[in-house]
Amino acid sequence: MTSSSSDTILVTGGSGFLGGRIIAQALAAGYRVRTTVRSPDREPRVRQNLEAMGVSAGEALTFVTADLTGDAGWTDAVAGCRYVLHVASPFPAGEPEHEDELIVPAREGTLRVLRAARDARVQRVVVTSSFAAIGYGHPQTDRAFTEEDWTDTTGPITPYIKSKAVAERAAWEFVEHEGNGLELAVVNPVGIFGPVVGADSSSSIGMISQLFTGATPGTPRLYFAVVDVRDAADLHLRAMTSPKAAGQRFIAAAGDAVSLHEIALAIRDRLGDAANAVPATELPDDVIRAAAENTPALQGMLPNLGVIRHVSNEKARTLLGWRPRSAADTVVATAESLLALGLLPTGS
């Protein structure tokens, strides 16, 4: 059966940073889109964000109220859909008292969506997992992590990282044993950056804002891979429709890990005077450790100082023809959008 842009697709978590971009690109491609929101009062904001992306949704976009923690609404949400893109995920404001506060909702929410999709005879579900399910709990290595790797959930990892690995494992096991022919593809994004159109954005965006505070004389030695939200959305749609994507995972990354220092320099270079507060130097680890003794907010980064998790995007590029923007273009576009919206710290 060939894919048609007149098909209806469900996108869970439509009010989120990534979910909104996926909806925009799907509507632009001619799909009818249904999206779930936890509360009906989120609909105007979703439509407003789409307008800011240049997309007038009109009647091609409909809303269903559904929450990952309960069954209500999911039968209506998946009814008549050919594809489901499960983007919604619980993300904590802080560390939970017990890891199950994160792990159980992530796992059960994913299974709730998969069961509804199977029962509605949906053709394929694309689950948004994370690089957190791939590259953590391992000793540092010079080789790049690929889709063959899985995070070691017995290693020293945070509850959030563990929740992503556990939820994705549960998805693959469900489709294998109870899927009844349901196809599954998974996208594993690294840190999601890119143009912001409103107050709703990924947790990664705060890292860019922090560079403009002028609060620190330099950046810590932190390394991470980035992906533009527009490219992550594009990869989801490719994973949704490509026959080659069924049964596959895809890392969504612009390229290998980059340093926070490199990111800061790219922003300073491209934004000029507007980025004068962005630090141009990199601080030694011992300086950060000393500062962390009196600054609890810094303590969480200590285990990651100097740690480079190399990552490969070759599979998505080769199998699906995906062509992401560079890390520099991505972080600069992030900063430019924050600047245009007046969302950068005062005095930057």
- Please tell me which residue in 162, 164, 244, 315 is annotated as part of the active site: 164
Task: For residue 282, list its beta bridge partners.
Answer: 219
Angle, to 10 degrees, between the axis of helix 260-271 and the axis of helix 327-340?
60
Structure tokens at 8: 């209806």
| DSSP symbols for 213-271 | S--SSSB-S-EE-EEEHHHHHHHHHHHHH-GGGTT-EEEE-SSS-EEHHHHHHHHHHHH
Write the DSSP string, 25-51: HHHHTT-EEEEEESSGGGHHHHHHHHH
- Taking the C-alpha atoms of residue 155 and residue 106, their distance in angstroms, rounded to an integer, is 19
* Structure tokens, 245: 């994507």
Residues 6+ apart with CB under 8 A from 85: 9, 10, 11, 12, 22, 125, 126, 128, 236, 240
Decide if 164 is catalytic.
yes
Burial 141-151 (b: 16+ CB within 10 A, else e): eeebbbbebbb
Report how far residue 210's alpha carbon sits from residue 278's, in angstroms, rounded to the nearest whole number.
9
- Backbone φ and ψ for 260, nearest 5 degrees, come out as -60, -30
- CB atoms < 10 A from the CB of 307, how many? 12
What residues act catalytically?
Answer: 164
